[in-house]
Amino acid sequence: MSIGHTLLGLLESGPRHGYDLKRAFDEKFGHDRPLHYGQVYSTMSRLLKNGLVEVDGVETGGGPERKRYAITEAGITDVQRWLATPEKPEPYLQSTLYTKVVLALLTHRDAADILDTQRAEHLRMMRILTDRKRKGDLADQLICDHALFHLEADLRWLELTAARLGKLAEVVTK
Amino acid sequence: MKARQWWRDLAMGARFAFTGGREGWVRLLLTAVGVGLGVALLLLTTALPGALAARHDRENARADHTYNQEKKPKGDNTLVIADIDTPFRSKDVRGRVMEPEGARAPLPPGLERFPRPGEMMVSPALKTLLASDEGRLLRERLPYRIVGTIGENGLVGSHELAYYAGAEGLAAKISPPNVARIDSFGDPNLTPEKSDPVLILLMLVVFVVLLMPVGVFIAAAVRFGGERRDRRLAALRLVGSDGGMTRRIAAGEALAGAVLGLAFGTVFFLIGREAAGSAEVFGISVFPGYLNPSPGLALLVAVAVPAAAVLVTLFALRGVVIEPLGVVRTAKPARRRLWWRLLLPLGGLAMLYPMVGQGRTNGDFNEYLVVGGVLLLLVGVTALLPWVVEAVVARLNSGGVAWQLAVRRLQLSSGTAARMVNGIAVAVAGAIALQMLFSGVEADYTKQSRNDLSRAQMQVNLPDGVPIGAAARKFSAVQGVRKVTALSSGDLGDKRKDPAMSSELSVGDCAALRELATLPSCRDGDVFTLRGAEYDTDTPKLVKPGRTLYLAPSYGDERNAEVAWTVPGTLKQARSIKDPTGVMRGGILMTPRALPGRAAASVRGQVYLSLDQSVPDVREYVRNTAARVDLRADTMVWAASEQSRRFTSIRTGLFVGASCVLALIGASLLVSQLEQLRERKKLLSSLVAFGTRRRTLSLSVLWQTAIPIALGLVLASAVGLTLGAILLKMSGASVTVDWASVLTMTGIGAGVVLLVTVLSLPPLLRLMRPDGLRTE
Amino acid sequence: MTPPPGSLLAAQDLRKAYGPTVALDGAEFSVHPGEIVAVMGPSGSGKSTLLHCLAGIVPPDSGSITYNGREMAGMSDAERSLLRRTEFGFVFQFGQLVPELTCAENVALPLRLNGTSRKEAERTALSWMARLEVDDLAGKRPGEISGGQGQRVAVARALVTSPRVLFADEPTGALDSLNGERVMELLTEAARSTNAAVVLVTHEARVAAYSDREIVVRDGKSRDMERSV
C-alpha cells in the first residue's frame, strides 16, 4: 500500500496537521499497523519536495511545531492517477508453502502432514477473523473478508495439492 | 414453410419423448401403457358386438329346433335328436343324444362323424372336466366312451361344456320338444327377436357408462409426468423457442406417447384376445376369432386417441405460462366457477326429461337424446368434481400432521387430485344409475315363481310312460333326499277326440295327494274330486258318478291313449290346497290303484324332492339318479325367482365391463400416485431424516387419495341416483332407491382406493430410505 | 477404545460401504455439548455419510456410535426416529421444506410430530422465525421465498425443538456468500444460545471458520485436527 498516496487522498477533503493525518489514517486503514509519527513526517517532507503538497500554515504553541499541509493541483492529479491505475495482481509464484511441500517430498517426510497442519493454522486464523468480523462494524467486516478470501484461496490450494500429492511426488523425486 | 416448421416442432417433441433418459422412458412408458390399456378396452368394445353376433351365429347354426315343428317321416336324411341339457354344479352342460336314420342324416357343426351308440364327442372343456377329479360325479351321468372332440365351429365358446352322444331306438321316444326328428341344423327362416325398447335403453346406457371412464382415463394418462415436461419446456424457452413452438413440442411429445400407446393397445388387445379364449367370465367364454373389431371403428380409435391426446395436452397447458426461467402457474389460480359446471348435468337432465314415461307406452327412445343426456350427466360429474374438491378442501383444516400434509397438498393442487378421481367417480355414478335401473325393472323381467321352497327344493319331470313308482323309490334311496313326493298328471275329457269339456287328473299315493288337498280319509283305490281350485268350472259338470270319461283324449292330429274310465259311485270330496309349486289344482285325484292300467303310460310323472342341503353335491346325486331313470328326465332346482335370461346377460355384461374399468382406473391411480411419490423423493427422505414416522407419511398418502375419493363418491352417488331415477321414470317403472347397490358400488370404489394405497406403500417405504438424501 | 470423556456424540471406527463404494473406512468423531464441529473434506470423501451415520439415519456396517452414553446400534428404527425428532435437528442443502405447507407450518412440523398442539407449535415456530429474522414470511409458501430465506426457515425448523445436536449438511451450499454468511451467523448464534452442539458438514473453509474445531474426512478416514496437533 502506498502511504504517500493514501495521505494525499486524505488531504483532498481539506488541509490538516500532520498529527490529524496520522489519526485519520489509523482510524480508517491502520487496524493492524498504526503509523509512526516519524513515518508521516518523512512522507510529508517527500511530498512537499515533489510539489504535491504545500504548507498551508504553521502553528506554534506550547508543543512542537505543527505544520498544516494542503494538497496542490499536482497532488490531486497524482491521487487521481494512482486510483485509476489497477493494482498488479500478485501471482504468488514463489511460495514458501510450495517449497516446504517439495522439500518434504524430496526428503521423504510426510507432505500431507505439512498440508494438514498448515490448513489447521489457516482455519485458526480464519476463525479469529470471522469472530472479529462478527463483532466489528462494516469496515471491519470488509477488511476481514478480504483476508478471509485470501486465506480461503490458500486453503483451496492446500486441498488441491493434498489431492495431487501422489503425482507431485512422482514428478519431484524422478 | 410454416407447415415445415410445425412438422419440425412436432418431430422434436416426439424425439424428446423417446430420448429423455431413464426418467423420460419411464414417463413415456407410463403414458403408453395408460393409453394402451384404454385403446385395448376401446377395441374390445368395438369388437364386442361382433363377438356376440358371432356367438349368436354359431348358436343358430347348430340349433336343432326340436320344438314347434310338424312331424317328419323317417327318411335317409333324417336324424332323431334328444335334447338332454344338464346342469352340473353352477354350469350348464349342453347335451344331445342322436341317432341318424340314413346315410344323408345332417351332421351337426363341429363333428366329423356321428358317434355310435355308447360313444360321445365332447367339447375340449368338458373333456378336461371329465378327466378331472371335480368331474367324477358328472362322469357317472355320462356313461359314454369319449371318441372325439367337437370342433370349434360347433361350440359358442372356448369354455363351453357340450357333448354329442350316440343312441339306439330313439325314434320310439320322439316327443317334442325334447326328442324330435329333424333333417337339418340351423333355422332357415330366422326371425330376429324384436328388441325391447327398455332393453335397448339399457344397452345404450351400459355402453356410455363403460366408455366414459375409459375416455377420462386416456385423458389422465397423457398428462402423466406433466411437471417434469413443463420444466423441460422452460429450458427450451431459454434457448429461444417461442410460446407456439413450445406448445407444438409438447403436442409432439404427447402424440408420441399416444401413438406408442396405440401400438401397446393393439398388442394388449391381441394378448387379451388370446387370453379371452382361455378365460371365462360369468359363464361366458368366447373364441379369440370372435373378437375382431370392425375396421371403421378401429380406424376411428386410431385417429381419435392421438387427437384427443394432443387436445388434452394443449388444454392442460392453457393455465400454464412457460417462461424461459421456469414454469409460472398463476400463484393463485382463478377460483373455479360453478355455473357452467352445473350447466352440463342440467343440460343432460333436460335432454332426458322429454322421454320420461315413454318406456311402456309407445316405447320409442330417441337414441341420440338418451346417449347425449347420459353423457352430459356423467361429464357433469367430471366438471363438478374439481369444483367440489376445491370448495371442500379449502374449508378443511385442523387435524394431525398426516392430515395437515394431505390437506395442504390438496389445497395447492386440487385439480390433480380431482383428475385422478374423475374416472372412478364417473364409473361409480354410471354403475349406480344402471344398478338402480336394473333393480327397478327387475320385477318386469323376473317371473316371481310360486314354488314353495319349504316343501321341496328340486323337481324332476319324467317323460311320458316312465313308471313313477319305481322312479320314486330310486330317488328315495339317494343320499341327502329327505322326502319324495311323486305325482303324475294327465287330463281327461268327455269325448275320445277333441273333448268339449276337460279336467285335470293328478295321481299319487295318499301321502302325495295330501300335498295337494285336505283329504277326509284315504286308502289306495280312492278317487276324489277337488273343490276350491281357481278357474275350474268344467269339473263339477263333468265328473258325475257313472259317467264315462276318457283319459288322455286326442287333440287334432295327435293320437293319444284315449282310455275310457267310468266315474265310480263313491266319489270323495277334497278341498284343494296349494301344491309344492304354489298352484291350487283342480280336477280329480286318484290313488294309483284307481288308475286304469292302460292309462299308466299316458300320465306324466313329476317328482318333488325335499333335500338335506348340507349334503355336498346332493343336487348332482339327484341329477345322476334322474339320468339313470331316464335320460330325458328333466331336473329343476327351485330358486326363489327365475330371471329372464336376456336380462341376466345384460347385467352380466355390466359386471364384466365394470370390473375391467375399475381395474383400469385402479392402475391409473397407482401410476400417478407412484409418479407423484417419485418426484418427492428428496423431500420424503429429509422428512424421514428429521424423525417423521413412516406411519405419518403413509397415512398422509392415504388421506391424499381418500379425501378426493370420498368427495367423488358422494358426488357420484348423487348424480348416479338422479340418473337412475330419471332412467326409471323413462322406462315407466316406479322409482326405488337400491341402497344395497349404492353401497356396493361406492364400496368397490373405496376398495380400489385402499388397494392403490396399499400397493403404493412398498415404493413409498423404499423412497423414504435415506439414500434419497445422497446427492448424485 | 472409549469415547472421549464429556462428549455428547461420539463415533469410533465407523465403516460403511454402498455396494462396492467404500464411504467410511474407520472414521472417528466426537462433539461436546455446545461445541460446533466442522466436518470438511473433498467431494465424495464420506462427509455426508458420516453425518447420516451420526444422526442415526443410516446404520453403519460396523463401529460404534454413542449418544449421551447410549450405544446407537442397540436402538430400533423407531427409537432412532424418536431421537431424531426430539434430540436432533437437521438442515440440508435443499429440498427440505414441504412445498404445500406455509413457512410457519414447516417450522412447526417437528413440534407437531412430537405431539405438540397446533397452536402451541405455531407460536413457538413464530418466535424461532423471529430469531432468524424470517417471521414476516410466516404465511408464505416455500415457493414464494428466496433461497436464503428458505435456508433460514429451515434453520428455524431445525432449532424449534431445541435439539441438543444440530446436523447441518452444506447448509449454505446453494447460497451466495453474503446470504450464506448470514445463515451461518444466525445458525451459530442460535446454536450457542441454546448450547446445542453442531455437526457442520461443509467443503467451504469460510463456512468451517464458524466452527470451534474441524475434522477432515479423506477417503473415508477422519482426522481430528485439534487433537493431532
What is the band of C211 on the pLDDT scale with cuts at 50, 70, 90? very high
How far is Cα B26 from Cα B33, in angstroms, rounded to an integer? 10
pLDDT at B195 exceeding the cut of 60: no
Contact assessment for residue A35 and residue A25, using Cβ atoms and an 8 Å cutoff: yes
pLDDT beyond 60 at B190: no
On the question of pLDDT at A22 being above 80, the answer is yes
* Chain C nearest-CA residue for B406: C100
- The DSSP letter of residue C117 is -
Average the pLDDT over each of A21-35, B126-140, B722-736, B761-775 and give the range with the smallest value: B761-775
Tally Cβ neighbours within 10 Å of residue B235.
14
pLDDT digits (tens, 9 = 90+) for B233-248: 777 776 667 777 888 8
Q: How confident is the model at residue C9 (pLDDT cuts 50, 70, 90)?
A: very high
Top pLDDT among B338 and B658 is at B338
Locate the domains of chain B by residue range: 1-63+206-330, 79-182, 332-447+643-776, 458-638
pLDDT above 80: residue C98: yes
List the single residue in C with minimal CA-CA distance to B410.
C100
The pLDDT tens digits for A26-58 are 887 766 677 888 888 888 889 889 888 888 887
Question: Using a CB-CB distance cutoff of 8 angstroms, which residues of chain A are in contact with residue C204?
Answer: 152
Which has the minimum average pLDDT: A59-63, A137-141, C212-216? A59-63
**Which tens digit of pLDDT belongs to each residue from A75-95?**
888 888 888 887 777 667 667
Does the CA dihedral B606-B473-B163-B69 come out positive or negative? Answer: negative
Which residues on chain B are in Cβ contact (under 8 Å) with C103?
none
Bridge partners (DSSP) of residue B487 are B606
Mean pLDDT computed over B488-516: 86
| Interface contacts B/C by beta carbons within 8 Å | 77
Least confident of B41-55, B154-168, B584-598: B41-55
pLDDT recorded at residue C229: 38
CA-nearest residue to C48 within chain B is B774
Give the separation between CA A40 and CA A20, rounded to whole angstroms. 10
Which grid cell sits at B651?
347385467
The shortest CB-CB distance from C225 to any of A116, A149, A163 is to: A116
Please report which confidence band the pLDDT of residue B331 belongs to, taking 50, 70 and 90 as the band edges.
very low
pLDDT in tens, B259-277: 888 898 889 888 877 776 6
B233-240's contacts with Cβ under 8 Å and 24+ in sequence apart are B233/B322, B233/B327, B234/B322, B234/B323, B234/B324, B234/B325, B234/B326, B234/B327, B237/B322, B237/B323, B237/B324, B238/B324, B238/B325
| Nearest-angstrom CA–CA distance, B486 and B256 | 73
3-state secondary structure of B20: coil
- The residue among B80 and B556 whose pLDDT is bigger is B80
Residue pairs between chains A and C whose CB atoms are closer than 8 Å? 42
C151: chain B residues, CB-CB within 8 Å: none
> Which stretch of DSSP H or E encloses residue C226?
helix C225-228
Which residues of chain C does B326 touch, with a Cβ-Cβ cutoff of 8 Å? Answer: none
Q: What is the predicted pLDDT for the residue at C123?
A: 92
Cβ contact, residue pair B686, C95, below 8 Å: yes
Best of A113, A126, A130 to substitute, by most chain C Cβ atoms within 10 angstroms, is A130
Residue B58, number of CB atoms within 10 A of its CB: 22
- Residue matched to cell numbers 367430471: B382
- Give the range among A34-43, B313-322, C183-192 with minimum mean pLDDT: B313-322
Q: How far does the CA of residue C111 sit from the closest CA of chain B (Å)?
A: 10
Query: Of the candidates C52, C83, C101, which has its C-beta nearest B408's C-beta?
Result: C101
From the CB coordinates, do chains C and A have 3 or more pairs under 8 Å?
A: yes
Strand partners, B605: B488
List chains touching A (3+ CB pairs under 8 A). C
B644: pLDDT strictly greater than 60: no
- Confidence grade of residue C70 (pLDDT, cut at 50, 70, 90): confident
Burial of C114 by CB count in 10 Å (0-12 exposed, 13-18 middle, 19+ buried)? Answer: middle
In the stretch 207-226 of chain C, residues with CB closer than 8 A to chain A read 208-212, 214, 216, 218, 223, 225-226
Q: In chain A, pLDDT over 90 holds for what percent of residues?
A: 2
Residues in chain A closer than 8 A to C228 (CB atoms): 116
Nearest residue in chain B measured CA to CA from C112: B401
Side-chain half-sphere exposure of B168, counting CA atoms within 13 A: 4
Maximum average pLDDT range among B11-25, B166-180, B435-449, C208-222 = C208-222
pLDDT tier at B350, thresholds 50, 70, 90: confident
Inter-chain CB proximity C205 and A156 less than 8 Å: yes
Q: Test C205 with A162 for CB contact under 8 angstroms.
A: no
Interacting residues of B567 by C-beta distance below 8 A, sequence separation 6+: B527, B543, B544, B545, B546, B547, B548, B549
* Chain A CB within 8 Å of residue C105 CB: no
Higher-scoring residue by pLDDT: B441, C154: C154
Which whole number is the average pLDDT over B689-709?
83
Q: How far apart are the first and last CA of chain C?
A: 20
Does B328 touch chain C if contact means CB atoms closer than 8 Å?
no
What's the confidence (pLDDT) of residue B445? 54
C130 touches chain A (CB under 8 A): no
The grid coordinates listed for A37 are 509519527
- The verdict on a CB contact (< 8 Å) between B696 and C100 is no
CA–CA distance, B767 with B678 (Å, rounded to integer) = 7
For residue C167, what pLDDT is reported?
92
For residue C4, give the DSSP letter. P
pLDDT, tens digit (0-9, with 9 covering 90-100), for B25-58: 766 776 787 778 778 877 877 777 677 777 777 8
Rounded distance between C-alpha atoms, residue B422 and residue B341, angstroms: 14
The answer on pLDDT for B647 being more than 80 is no
pLDDT at B320: 65
Instruction: Answer whether B397 touches C (CB < 8 Å).
Output: no
Residues of B in contact with C199 (CB under 8 A): none
Chains A and B touch (3+ CB pairs under 8 A): no
pLDDT tens digits along C156-169: 999 898 999 999 98
pLDDT value of residue B642 = 47
Going by pLDDT thresholds of 50, 70 and 90, the confidence category of residue C228 is very low
Is the per-residue pLDDT at B446 higher than 60?
A: no
State residue C36's pLDDT score. 94
Query: Diameter of chain C by CA atoms?
Result: 50
Average pLDDT over every residue of B517-532: 85
pTM of the predicted model as reported, rounded to 2 decimal places: 0.62
Query: Neighbouring chains of C at 3+ CB pairs within 8 Å?
Result: A, B
Least confident range from B608-612, B618-622, B729-733, C187-191: namely: B729-733
**pLDDT for residue C198:** 94
The answer to whether the beta carbons of residues C198 and C165 sit under 8 Å apart is: yes
pLDDT tens, position by position, B386-444: 888 888 888 887 778 888 888 888 887 777 777 777 877 888 888 888 777 777 766 55
Asked if residue C38 has pLDDT above 90, the reply is yes
What whole-number distance in Å separates Cα of residue B371 and Cα of residue B381?
Answer: 16
Instruction: Tell me whether residues C206 and A148 touch, CB distance under 8 A.
Output: yes
β-pair partners for B529: B573, B588
- Residues of A near C (Cβ–Cβ under 8 Å) read 116-117, 119-120, 122-123, 126-127, 129-130, 134, 148-149, 151-152, 155-156, 159, 162-163
CA-based nearest residue in chain C for residue A124: C209
Per-residue model confidence (pLDDT) at position C225: 67
Query: What percentage of chain B carries pLDDT values higher than 70?
Result: 81
Please determine, for residue B516, whether its predicted confidence score (pLDDT) is greater than 70: yes
B314-323, B424-433, C125-134: which is most confident = C125-134
Query: For residue B490, what are the β-bridge partners?
Result: B505
| CA A165 centroid distance within chain | 32
The cell numbers describing B189, all together, are 327362416
Using pLDDT thresholds of 50, 70 and 90, give the confidence band for residue B640. Answer: very low
Among B residues 655-684, those touching chain C with beta carbons less than 8 Å apart: 682-683
Strands B563-566 and B548-551: antiparallel
> B180, B69 in Cβ contact below 8 A?
yes
The two beta strands, B548-551 and B527-531, are unpaired
The strand pairing partners of B149, in sequence order, are B122
Which residues of C fall within a CB distance of 8 Å from A117?
229
| Record: contact C229-A152, CB cut-off 8 A | no
* SS3 assignment, position A131: helix
Compute the mean pLDDT over every residue in chain A, rounded to the nearest whole number. 83
**Average pLDDT, integer, range C118-140:** 90
B288-292, B441-445, B753-757, C163-167, range with greatest mean pLDDT: C163-167
What's the CA gap between B223 and B419, in Å, rounded? 10
Residue C104 has pLDDT above 60, yes or no: yes
Q: What's the gap in Å between the CA of C36 and the closest CA on chain B?
A: 19
pLDDT the model gives residue B630: 81
Q: Does C54 touch chain A (CB under 8 A)?
A: no
pLDDT value of position B21: 66
Q: Are B7 and B245 in contact (CB under 8 A)?
A: no
Answer yes or no: is pLDDT of B646 > 60: no
Count other Cβ atoms within 10 Å, centred on residue B573: 11
A123 contact residues in C (CB cutoff 8 A)? 205, 208-209, 214, 225
- Is the ipTM higher than 0.95? The answer is no
Cell numbers for B389, please give them.
Answer: 374438491
* B23 pLDDT tier (thresholds 50, 70, 90): low
Interface contact flag, C84 B693, Cβ < 8 Å: no
Minimum distance, in Å, between the CA of residue B415 and any CA atom of chain C: 14
**Average pLDDT of the residues of chain C:** 86
| B235/C contact by beta carbon, under 8 A | no
Mean pLDDT on B652-662? 66
- The predicted model gives B461-477 an average pLDDT of 83
Three-class secondary structure of residue B667 per DSSP: helix
Residues in chain A within 8 Å Cβ distance of C223: 116
**Given an 8 Å threshold on Cβ–Cβ distance, is B692 in contact with C83?**
no
Tell me how close the Cα of C101 comes to any Cα of chain A, in angstroms: 34
Q: Where are the alpha helices (DSSP H) in B185-287?
A: 197-221, 226-238, 243-278
- Which band of pLDDT confidence, cut at 50, 70 and 90, is reported for residue B661? low
Helices (H), C58-137: 77-86, 103-113, 118-131
On average, the pLDDT of chain B sits at: 78
Q: Quickly list DSSP for B674-702.
A: HHHHHHTHHHHHHHHHTT--HHHHHHHHH
